[in-house]
Amino acid sequence: MTIHFPWKDKSPNIAPGSKPTKVRKLHKDSEKKATLLLHTILAQRELTMRFDDWLWRKKLIGLLVVVVVIELILLLVPWDHG
C-alpha cells in the first residue's frame, strides 16, 4: 500500500552526498508515525469487521437452530387434528 504524504511534494531536493536537514528528519519521523497510526487504524477496522461478521454468523446459526428445533417439535409431536 502506498501512502501519499503532501509534505513530500514541498520538501526541497537534497543534492547527493549532502546530509539531510533536521526538518527533513522530522518529516521522516512524522511519516513513520503517520504510517504506524494508519496501519493500526486499518488493523483495528479489520478486527471490528471480522467480529461483526462472526456476530452475524452466530446470530444466523442460532436462528437456524431455533427453526430446526421448532420444525422437529411440529413433526414429532402427535397433534390431534380432530
d(CA 54, CA 52): 5
**Quick one: pLDDT at residue 52?**
84
Residue 38 contacts by C-beta under 8 Å, 6 or more apart in sequence?
Answer: 3
Residues of the chain with pLDDT under 50: none
**Quick one: pLDDT at residue 69?**
95
d(CA 73, CA 1): 54
